[in-house]
Structure formats: structure tokens, C-alpha cells
Amino acid sequence: MKTSTTTGALLVTTFLAASAAMAQDAELIIESWRNDDLTIWQNKIIPAFEAEHPGIKVKFTPSAPAEYNAVLNSKLDAGSAGDIITCRPFDASLALYDAGHLADLSDIDGMSNFSSVAKSGWSTDDGSATYCVPMASVIHGFIYNKDAFDELGLSVPETEAEFFAALDAIKADGNYIPMAMGTNDQWEAATMGYNNIGPNYWKGEEGRNALIAGEQKLTDEAWVAPYRQMAKWGDYLGDGYEAQTYPDSQNIFTLGRAAIYPAGSWEISGFNAQADFAMGAFNPPVQNAGDTCYISDHTDIGIGMNAATSNPEAAKTFLNWVASSEFSNIFANELPGFFPLSNAAVELQDPLAQEFISWRAKCESSIRSTYQILSRGTPNLENETWNASVAVIKGAESPEDAGKRLQDGLASWYAPHQ
Amino acid sequence: MATPSKSGFKWHIVVFLAPAVIVYTAVMIYPLFATLRLSFYSEVEQERIWVGLQNFATLFGDAIWSEQFWNALGNNAWFFLIHMLVQNPIGIALAAILSSPKLRFSAFYRSAIFIPTILSFVIVGFAWKLILSPIWGIAPDMLDAIGLKFLYQPWLGKEEYALTTLSLVSVWQFVGIPMMLIYAALLSIPDEILEAGECDGITGLSAFFKIKLPLILPSIGIISVLTFVANFNAFDLIYAAQGALAGPDFSTDILGTFMYRTFFGFQLQLGDPHMGSTIASAMFGIILIGVCIYLFGIQRRLRNYQF
């Protein structure tokens, strides 16, 4: 009896102490789809912030990438979402802002560190309000197995002809799968395929803006030609690529079984940890030697504030810190492959990440063609592009038919194309 | 304790029914009607407005929607057909074998066959994806070992095989349910009837087809209707194995995944609760019609034997 009273008393004091602590500390919960980054947030980013701001506790609670949008929308509607929301670029977040779920952040101090291009992913169509702090962009290109290239005496391809010559040489040698990509999960074909090689054909921003304005069509040569290249890819993918998933492709490449991996820069940290061979990267090969190269440098992650948060001041403090160069430095070096969008100068240490970011100097940057405005209607152009890219690689649909199908779908709801 | 007057209102009935009625209303009836109601609204400029049957007109009249809907319904029908043709006959056969008194270790077989039923869809989907994987899977190696490598295909990645493959995975998982129900029905057949049959010279297989099968027909009917409802509500296995886009090229898209994608959105496609509810209502209608056909058309013709 005696012991249980003591335990009871102890419990009461613990509760009191805990509630006293709760009253002082504002707790911020971050919603995110980056479950791969959990340890970096927990061990590096959050401790750095909490050391500077003792009164604020931060918790990073990611969900699976494919489910993030659905989970987040349900949580926001139910009022159970966290205080800080990691923002997908463009319409998904714009819809949240329009529905009053994301707060307008145009007037926080840190916003001045970003260019209007960086902010475009998270601003209203007229640019009057910005509702997420731009956090990072990802760059597309190809990562290759340097050891395999040396072994076969191949050099980095700069033109399309050299690219296919290299693929042929790897295939003829037979020791490596020429290119690691599957079509089971569909999105790689569109994201790492179509939107990776495409900007070289439609000349980056020039073509993308013309498409949005209705001056170019998806049936134009510039938009069909990437499909024509991808129709040839099928021969170079591994056996049974139709059922190969995204993690399968990652593993095939990092186990050293494939020579080339159509990539996004977000792969860098994972590949560095997994692969025990030297890796290099090259930007999407241009059609003819000497052509200007274009890359997809896609605004990918922003971070905003739940309008219904109970700690708006603490949340703004946190977002201002995310906009600072201190955060950019930690983030860029802990997560090589996610390139900060702020104007602050950032030193990158990882050689592969340096290679990717060096393309910003020699090539023209653009973002993925389907993301701004064009995926607002039904049928959804992004999802259709996944489907068309897969069909073209498998040879189930001709490049021209794919372009026509997408154009018809877009024209069915998008006024500038009608 | 006072004895309740005989003419008084029987409050205890209400009290005893209340928990079940309240819980069932809260988690089943209310959501069902809320979903039906939602399908008559649409959202314009952040406002929810009444649009009557317009959502249904879009679903069935607009080629973009109706093509997906008929594709999903067709796939669903195929999914159901495979279950009816494979799962239920195998279930019945297994039950017939298990109920044979000569079989040894029948308790072990019964448990072993039933265990997949209690596994999570995610585990089943993931395990089969790995087994069938062209890269790491054991399926290609096993076929190679018996010299049938040429039969191997990346089944889950081919439009023509993916749905059938997933249906068979689902059959593997759930074959224990018809087996158990039929097994119970077979055990309840009195030995006297079988012995009487034996006296008339009906034994072995013909005893099964002439005596047992007619007696378990009502159970087979119940199993068919359970399979129908479960198959047209299915979602989990397809989602776990192929994702919300139900690839390749929507060849495994069933009503459940179509509804999920529309309701909650996917990647850049924003969720549309109103069209999602419309699809859910259509699913409800299809299942309702199917069950009614069974109840009024078939079950009444089945005779129940009382022993």
C-alpha cells in the first residue's frame, strides 16, 4: 500500500511537470512526404533550430510519398493536420491556399531571399501572394556507373547519337544492363524519361510557356520527339522491365548491375550510401553537338504554415529560419541532391551534387512541363503523361498517337487549346 | 423488484438494441447516406452547390469518365468471374476432401489453407510482388529448375496478364473462406442419409454429387453472394500491388481504385469528393442490384432441408 501511494505521488508530480513544460514550449508538428529524410531532420535540422530557439519544440512526422496529398487533405479537412505543411509545388498547394488551409506568408522577412522564379511554384497565378517558403529544387539527368564506363572504354555522351552508341556498346558487352528503369510504377517513365530529356527538344521555358499560352501543341514535333527517343529505350532496359518497380531500379543500379540510371538529383544521398563504385552524372544529351542544353531544374519542395495552427508566431519563426542561409547550408549538404532555392551562397561538398548543380551554369533551366496550370483539369495531364510515356516505351502506342491523345485530353478542358 | 406490467412499453428491448443500433448507425448508415448525399453536390468557387443528377450524367455521359468507369466495371467483373470459377470450386473440392474421414492430418491442412486469409493485404501484395518479380523473384528460377523458363513472363507488368494474376493471388489468399463454410455445411449432413444412400449403392464421388452437393447448395449461394460483395468492394490488394494508378495502363483498375483516385486525388490530380462519391454511389447501386438478384431470384428457389 505504501509503495503504491508513493508511485501515485510520483506520477502526479510527473504529470504536473510535464504539463508545466507543455505550457512553456510551443510544439510544431511538420507534415511531409520525405520519409527518407527522417533521420536528417531529427538529428541535424531540428536540433540546430531548437538550439537557437529554446522555447519551440519541433516534430517531423512524414507519410509515404504516394499517399501524402490524400492524407494531408483529409487531415486538413478534419482539423488534425500539423502546424507546418511541406508544400508540393503548384496546384496541389494552391488549392490548399484557396481553401484557406495555408496561410499567406508574403510578408515574412525571409521571403526576400528568394527570386520570383523560385517563388513561382507557391504563388497565386498573379503572383500577389506567396504561401510557402521555397525549400529545394531537384535537377534531372543521368547518373552512370563510372567503373563500368571505364571498363568498357566509354566516354560521357554529349549528343543523342553518342548516347545511343554508348547504350549499344553496353548492350553488346552484355555484362551490364544498359539502363535501369522499369515501367511498373509508371511515374519514372514520365518524370525521369519524358521530362528529363524533353526540355532539350521544346527549349525549356520557351516551349513550356508557349504550351501554357496555347501557341504550341502536344502534337508539335518538339513535344512528340522526346517520345520518339523513348520508344527506342525499351530495347535497353533489363529483362522484365514491365514489372520492374522504382525500388527495383534503384537496387539494380546500386548493386552495380546497370550502367546508366535516368535520375533525379534526389537519388544522390541514397546512392552514395548504397553504391560501392564510383558514380558520375551527365545532363540529357542534346540532338546535335553544340546545341544549347536545357535541364529540368524543378521547384519541388516548399514549406508553409497551416492557417489553423495554434502557434502561428512559433511557426513563422521556424519558417523564417528555413528561409535563412543557415538552413540552406545544413539542408544542401545533409541532403545532397536537393538544391536550395534561396539566393544565399551555399557551398556543396558532395562531388555528384556539384556535378548536377554545375549544369545550372552551362544549360538553361526549366521546370517540368505538366506541373504549372496544365494539370488542373480532367483528364489530368500529368497522370496521362505517365501512362503515355509507359505505353511508348513498351511500344504499345506510337509517339504520334501518344501526342495526339494527350493533346485531345488537354484541349477538352483547357481554353487556350480549344 | 417490481414486476413490469404486461401492457407497458417494453423499454428493455430498446435498451438492449441501442448499442448495436447506435454503433451501426454511426459507422455504417450515416456515412452511407452522407456519401449518397455528397454525390448530388458539386463544388464551384469553394461553395458546395446542389447539382442534382449532373455528376451521374458526367460519369456515364462524358467519354473521359465513362471509359474509365466501364473499364473498371469490366475489370471488376473479370475479377469476380475468376473468383467464382477458381476460388469457389477449389474451396468446395478442398472441403470435400477435408471432410473425408480417411484423410490424415486434416486439422493441419485446414489451418494451413486458412492462414493466408488472416494475413494483411499489404503483406500478401508485397510478398507476391517479390515472388513474381523478374529481378529478385523465385518464380523465374523455379520455372527454370523444371525447364519451363520460357513460360515466365513479368506477369504483373503486362496488360494482358496483370489482372488475372492479381485475381489468382486474391484466390490464393481467400480460398480458405469457402472451404471453411462448405466444410461446416458438409459436417452437418447426418450420416444416416449417406448410409441410406450407400444401401442404394450410391458411394464415393456419386455420393458427393447426388447427396452432399444438393444439400450444401444454400451455403454455395451464400458464398457466391459474399464473393460478389467482397469483389466489387475490393481495393486493397490492387492498391498494395499496383498503386492507385492500377497499372499497367489501367488494366487492373477496379471500381475501388477508380473511386480512391477520384475521391482523394493522386499526384497532381486533386481530390474530387463529389465525383468520388458519385462513383461510390454507383458501386453501391451495382452491389445492391447484384444482391437483390440473388435474394429474390435465387435464394427463394433454394430449398432448405431440416434434419
Question: Quick check: is B303 in a domain?
Answer: no
The residues, any chain, with a CB within 8 Å of residue A44's CB and separated by 6 or more, are A330, A334
pLDDT over 90 at A216, yes or no = yes
Q: Is A74 on the interface with B (CB under 8 A)?
A: yes
Question: Quick check: is B305 in a domain?
Answer: no
Q: How far is CA B260 from CA B74, B147, B234, B253, B269, in A?
A: 17, 42, 11, 11, 12
- Name the band, by pLDDT with cuts 50, 70 and 90, for residue A345: confident
pLDDT per position as a tens digit, A245-269: 898 999 999 999 999 999 999 999 8
Q: Is A238 on the interface with B (CB under 8 A)?
A: yes
Question: Quick check: is B41 in a domain?
Answer: no
Q: Is B183 on the interface with A (CB under 8 A)?
A: no
pLDDT per position as a tens digit, A79-125: 999 999 999 988 889 989 998 999 999 989 889 888 877 888 899 88
pLDDT in the model for residue B148: 86
Domain that holds residue B117: 70-252
Look at A243 and B46 and tell me if their CB atoms are within 8 Å. no
pLDDT per position as a tens digit, A274-297: 999 999 999 999 999 999 999 998
Question: Quick check: is B292 in a domain?
Answer: no
Q: Which residues of chain B have pLDDT under 50?
A: 1
* CA–CA min distance A325, chain B (Å): 30
Of A73, A183, A382, Cβ closest to residue B264: A73
Rounded distance between C-alpha atoms, residue A319 and residue B161, angstroms: 49
pLDDT in the model for residue A344: 74
B163-168: long-range pairs with CB below 8 Å, 24+ = B163/B75, B163/B78, B163/B79, B163/B251, B163/B252, B164/B78, B164/B82, B165/B132, B166/B79, B166/B237, B166/B238, B166/B241, B166/B242, B166/B252, B167/B78, B167/B79, B167/B82, B167/B83, B167/B86, B168/B82, B168/B86
A8-22, A371-385, B272-286: the lowest-pLDDT one: A8-22
Q: Is A41 on the interface with B (CB under 8 A)?
A: no
Rounded distance between C-alpha atoms, residue A148 and residue A260, angstroms: 9
Task: Say if residues B96 and B157 touch (Cβ distance below 8 Å).
Answer: no
pLDDT per position as a tens digit, A136-189: 999 999 999 999 999 999 999 999 999 999 999 999 999 999 999 999 889 999
Domains identified in chain B, total number: 1
What b/e readout covers A272-288, taking b as 16+ CB neighbours within 10 angstroms? beebeeebebbbbbbee
Using a CB-CB cut-off of 8 Å, the residues of chain A touching B132 are 243
The residues, any chain, with a CB within 8 Å of residue A269's CB and separated by 6 or more, are A335, A336, A337
CATH number at residue B117: 1.10.3720.10
The amino acid present at B179, given as its one-letter code, is: M
* Residue bearing cell 450524367: B57
Q: Is B110 on the interface with A (CB under 8 A)?
A: no
Cβ count within 10 A of residue B45: 6
Residue in B with minimal Cα distance to A97: B46
Residue B270: which H helix or E strand, with range? strand B269-270
Rounded distance between C-alpha atoms, residue B78 and residue A180, angstroms: 33
Rounded distance between C-alpha atoms, residue A293 and residue A196, angstroms: 12
Rounded distance between C-alpha atoms, residue B77 and residue B45, angstroms: 38
pLDDT over 60 at A11, yes or no = no
In the DSSP assignment, the letter for residue B83 is I
* Residue bearing cell 523513348: A230
Look at B133 and A243 and tell me if their CB atoms are within 8 Å. yes
A342-346: long-range pairs with CB below 8 Å, 24+ = A342/A113, A342/A114, A342/A118, A342/A134, A343/A113, A343/A114, A343/A115, A344/A113
Task: Please give the mean pLDDT across all residues of chain A.
Answer: 89
Strand (E) positions, A239-369? 258-264, 279-282, 294-305, 339-340, 364-366
Question: Quick check: is B265 in a domain?
Answer: no
The residues, any chain, with a CB within 8 Å of residue A194's CB and separated by 6 or more, are A226, A227, A230, A385, A389
pLDDT in the model for residue A207: 94
Question: Quick check: is B282 in a domain?
Answer: no
Rounded distance between C-alpha atoms, residue B84 and residue B226, angstroms: 11
Using a CB-CB cut-off of 8 Å, the residues of chain B touching A401 are none
Rounded distance between C-alpha atoms, residue A277 and residue A166, angstroms: 19
pLDDT per position as a tens digit, B121-151: 999 999 999 999 988 889 988 998 998 888 8
pLDDT over 70 at A17, yes or no = no
Q: Give the residue with greater pLDDT, A325 vs B231.
A: B231
In the DSSP assignment, the letter for residue B305 is P
Task: Say if residues B263 and B273 touch (Cβ distance below 8 Å).
Answer: yes
Look at B133 and A73 and tell me if their CB atoms are within 8 Å. no
* Residue bearing cell 473511386: B259
Domains of chain A in sequence order: 2-136+299-351 (3.40.190.10), 139-297+365-417 (3.40.190.10)
* CA–CA min distance A17, chain B (Å): 38
Strand (E) positions, A37-114? 56-62, 84-87
Q: Is A408 on the interface with B (CB under 8 A)?
A: no
Residue in B with minimal Cα distance to A65: B267
Look at A383 and B268 and tell me if their CB atoms are within 8 Å. yes
In the DSSP assignment, the letter for residue B202 is -
How far is it between the farthest Cα atoms of chain B?
Answer: 83
Residue B187, CA atoms < 13 Å, CB-side half-sphere:
10
Of B140, B247, B270, Cβ closest to residue A184: B247
Interface test with A, best of B267, B274, B278 (most A CBs within 10 A): B267
Of B46, B135, B154, Cβ closest to residue A252: B135
Interface test with A, best of B163, B269, B279 (most A CBs within 10 A): B269
Distance of CA A100 to the CA centre of its chain: 25
Of B133, B134, B243, Cβ closest to residue A66: B243
> Kind of pairing, strands A26-32 and A294-305?
unpaired
What b/e readout covers A105-138, taking b as 16+ CB neighbours within 10 angstroms? beebebbebbeeebbbbbbeeeeeebbbbbbbbb
Percent of chain A with pLDDT over 70: 94
pLDDT in the model for residue B305: 61
Q: Give the residue with greater pLDDT, B1 vs A127.
A: A127
Rounded distance between C-alpha atoms, residue B68 and residue A378, angstroms: 12
Look at A375 and B129 and tell me if their CB atoms are within 8 Å. no
Rounded distance between C-alpha atoms, residue B43 and residue B58, angstroms: 14
Look at A90 and B268 and tell me if their CB atoms are within 8 Å. yes
- Name the band, by pLDDT with cuts 50, 70 and 90, for residue A3: very low
Interface test with A, best of B47, B268, B278 (most A CBs within 10 A): B268
| CB contacts < 8 A (A, B) | 113
Of B155, B245, B265, Cβ closest to residue A73: B265
Using a CB-CB cut-off of 8 Å, the residues of chain B touching A383 are 245, 266-269
Residue in B with minimal Cα distance to A238: B135
pLDDT in the model for residue A2: 45
